Chain A
Amino acid sequence: MTEHTDTDIDSSPPTAVHGATPNGEELADDVAKVLETRDMDVFYGDFRAVADVSIGFRFNEISALIGPSGCGKSTVLRSLNRMNDLIPSARVTGEVHYHGANIYAEGVDPVEVRRRIGMVFQKPNPFPKSIFDNVAWGVKINGFKGSKAELADHVEATLRQAALWDEVKDKLSDSGLSLSGGQQQRLCIARAIATQPDVVLMDEPCSALDPIATLRIEELMLELKKDYSIVIVTHNMQQAARVSDRTAFFNVQLDEKGQRTGRMIEFTPTDVLFTNPEQQETEDYITGRFG
């Protein structure tokens, strides 16, 4: 699959960057972005959790968000598909552009946003339904037009893509909760990609898993980036270094009123960030001097 068929709100065709491996390349502003925040602040009530985040995620890359705890990296991630709307006190200012359109603009339906920008959570959270229904449910609510057999084919293809098919093909009607933690998380990834989003957000997807399961998820992510753009929050720097093309470092700073607020420090190709960061703060963090 090379075409993003659902880019009607996009003005610049993404084909230009397909297949590109932008490691080491300059962060040029004219490269098309699938998702881009502009001067985004996120508040919880009166508390400003993150401030002035401007960051552009490119097509078919894995972008990692790292930083000490409390730096707001998960908050930023959840703002990218309006999951923060579910927290009554949360408020986002600034803009988030998806294919060039602001998802926080008046009249944008968050349901529509989330169909296109899927999400995988920290802890595996399969529905208490069968493995098959876990994958099929999102597909069905989003208006799948095929027959039952075609739906089954789609579920199979998705589970294959999530590298889970061989393990579950004989027990598709078992509860999703009967799987191991790593399998559950891959099921959640399968569930997320089954609805054909073009961005997948992952919020520390491996933090609850053992190393072997983690490895499999990482391999899966590298596989998936052929078709999807992925943004991942991780507290594991090695993981960011292994899987991501670009990495953003977030840190906690005191704002003008003396309140702690998360800010993005720098966003560069991963190998640059880990070998030759521009900012002293980043250097301190990746060398383990704090955090």
Chain B
Amino acid sequence: MTPRVDDTDMATQLRTTKRPLERAVVVSLFLAGAISIAVTLGILWELGKEALLFFQDEVVSIGDFFTTTVWQPQAGSFGIWPLILGTLYITVIALVVAVPVGLSAAIYLSEYASPRVRGILKPALEVLVGIPTVVFGFFALTFITPLLRGVFGVNTVGFFNVLSAGLVVGLLIVPLISSLAEDAMAAVPDSLRQAAYGLGASRLEVALRVVVPAALSGIAAGVVIAMSRAVGETMVVTLAAGASPRNFDLGTDSLFGTILNPFEGAQTITGYIVITASGDISYDTIDYNSIFALGLTLFIMTLTLNSLSRRIVKRFRQEYD
């Protein structure tokens, strides 16, 4: 009988075979992965380069950019605070709406709802996620704004106002908060709920005093993500909050009458970028460069929020491992 394997030189036979095709495949797969790095570098490079050009322009000073409160490109005033005010104001209004609504939705769906009710409500929230932001913008302008003007008076509420934009951005981020909070609450071990029930706790006490505290960091992470989303939201604010930066003077303008008046419009960082770019913008003008300086600011803001959220989640995971 002849041996099936010629083992005279087995050591050689077992040596690593060169597989050029396999190698090429792995390299191209790696390159596909590396494209994401190129995207990030591209973003940083382009935003950074144009922002630098912006700050080198003779009418711009980086100090004024971060310290003055008038944004009036035509007049050569580039103080970012009016745009940041608009952005943060709308974000805060959005969170005031979305946090209670989103958390209530999460608690109700996770701790109360019967499977049948859940089966109706949860898809409804998911539909909200799928609606394009421009449609939300349409909704803000054609429904919410007229509603507000009807309730508070046409003379009080401007055609463009931050309240309408904030409310609709809030509606838009509700599903984000509710689904992340629900995930966090689902991750709370059922044994904790049982322990609490075993002590004679009511459903409300279990939900609010056991489940929510145990899921708190996951919930917080969700709120931070939602905040980042609100800061970067563009179409709703462009359509509903108008295109005039809310320039102010801290000393003379009244805080609630003018600076924080929810019934008047205010441009946001994203709103300015879109409006400026929607015309026929010419390269290497100060307008062109300014949107990149703002883009860089926006990028840093959202990146900070996103990494903060990820850090919170990481801590959350450790608790139950």
A and B interact: yes
Query: Which A residues have a C-beta under 8 Å from some C-beta of B?
Result: 81, 83, 86, 88, 110-116, 118-121, 123, 125-129, 137-138, 141-142, 177, 188, 191-192, 195
List, in ascending order, chain B residues with CB within 8 A of A126's CB.
195
13 interchain pairs, CB-CB under 8 A:
A83-B197, A83-B198, A111-B201, A113-B200, A123-B191, A127-B196, A128-B213, A128-B214, A138-B200, A138-B201, A141-B202, A142-B199, A177-B319
Partner of B200, one of A111, A121, A125: A111
Do the beta carbons of A191 and B197 come within 8 Å of each other?
Answer: no
Do the beta carbons of A81 and B198 come within 8 Å of each other?
Answer: yes
List, in ascending order, chain B residues with CB within 8 A of A138's CB.
196, 199-201
- Assuming the contacts A121-B191, A121-B194, A128-B319, asked whether A137 and B199 have C-beta atoms less than 8 A apart, the reply is yes
Q: Among A116, A125, A129, find the residue whose CB has the most chain B CB atoms closer than 10 A.
A: A125
Partner of B195, one of A110, A112, A116, A191: A191
Q: Does B315 contact A (CB under 8 A)?
A: no
Closest 6 CB pairs of A and B: A115-B200, A138-B199, A119-B198, A125-B191, A114-B200, A125-B195
**Which residue on chain B has the smallest CB distance to residue A188?**
B195
Do the beta carbons of A125 and B213 come within 8 Å of each other?
Answer: no
Do the beta carbons of A118 and B199 come within 8 Å of each other?
Answer: yes
List, in ascending order, chain B residues with CB within 8 A of A137's CB.
196, 199, 209
List, in ascending order, chain A residues with CB within 8 A of B197's CB.
83, 86, 110, 114
**Which residue on chain B has the smallest CB distance to residue A115?**
B200
Do the beta carbons of A141 and B201 come within 8 Å of each other?
Answer: yes
* Cα–Cα distance between A177 and B192 once the two chains are bound (Å): 12
Do the beta carbons of B199 and A191 come within 8 Å of each other?
Answer: yes
**Which residue on chain A has the smallest CB distance to residue B198?**
A119
Q: Does B115 contact A (CB under 8 A)?
A: yes
Nearest chain B CB to A189 CB, angstrom units: 11
Q: Among A115, A126, A128, find the residue whose CB has the most chain B CB atoms closer than 10 A.
A: A128
Partner of B189, one of A83, A125, A129, A192: A125
List, in ascending order, chain B residues with CB within 8 A of A188's CB.
195
List, in ascending order, chain A residues with CB within 8 A of B114's CB.
88
- Assuming the contacts A121-B191, A127-B192, A128-B213, asked whether A192 and B198 have C-beta atoms less than 8 A apart, the reply is yes
Partner of A112, one of B193, B200, B205, B214: B200
Q: Does B210 contact A (CB under 8 A)?
A: yes
Nearest chain B CB to A118 CB, angstrom units: 6
**Which residue on chain B has the smallest CB distance to residue A126?**
B195
- Assuming the contacts A127-B214, A141-B205, A141-B209, asked whether A86 and B194 have C-beta atoms less than 8 A apart, the reply is yes
List, in ascending order, chain A residues with CB within 8 A of B214's CB.
127-128
**Which residue on chain B has the smallest CB distance to residue A194?**
B199
* Cα–Cα distance between A120 and B198 once the two chains are bound (Å): 8
Do the beta carbons of A115 and B319 come within 8 Å of each other?
Answer: no
Do the beta carbons of B194 and A125 come within 8 Å of each other?
Answer: yes
**Which residue on chain A has the smallest CB distance to residue B191?**
A125
List, in ascending order, chain A residues with CB within 8 A of B195's CB.
119, 121, 125-127, 188, 191
* Cα–Cα distance between A129 and B209 once the two chains are bound (Å): 10
Do the beta carbons of A114 and B194 come within 8 Å of each other?
Answer: no
* Cα–Cα distance between A128 and B209 once the two chains are bound (Å): 11
* Cα–Cα distance between A25 and B202 once the two chains are bound (Å): 41
* Cα–Cα distance between A244 and B191 once the two chains are bound (Å): 26
Nearest chain A CB to B243 CB, angstrom units: 49
Do the beta carbons of A114 and B205 come within 8 Å of each other?
Answer: no
Encode contact with A along B122-160: 1 for CB under 8 Å, 0 otherwise.
Answer: 000000000000000000000000000000000000000
Nearest chain A CB to B37 CB, angstrom units: 38
List, in ascending order, chain B residues with CB within 8 A of A81's CB.
198
- Assuming the contacts A88-B114, A121-B191, A127-B192, asked whether A114 and B199 have C-beta atoms less than 8 A apart, the reply is yes
Known: A120-B198, A141-B205, A142-B200. 6 other contacts (CB 8 A): A113-B200, A118-B199, A119-B195, A125-B195, A128-B213, A141-B199
Do the beta carbons of A115 and B193 come within 8 Å of each other?
Answer: no
Which residues of chain B from 160 to 202 have any CB-CB distance to chain A below 8 Å in the complex? 189, 191-202
* Cα–Cα distance between A177 and B189 once the two chains are bound (Å): 13
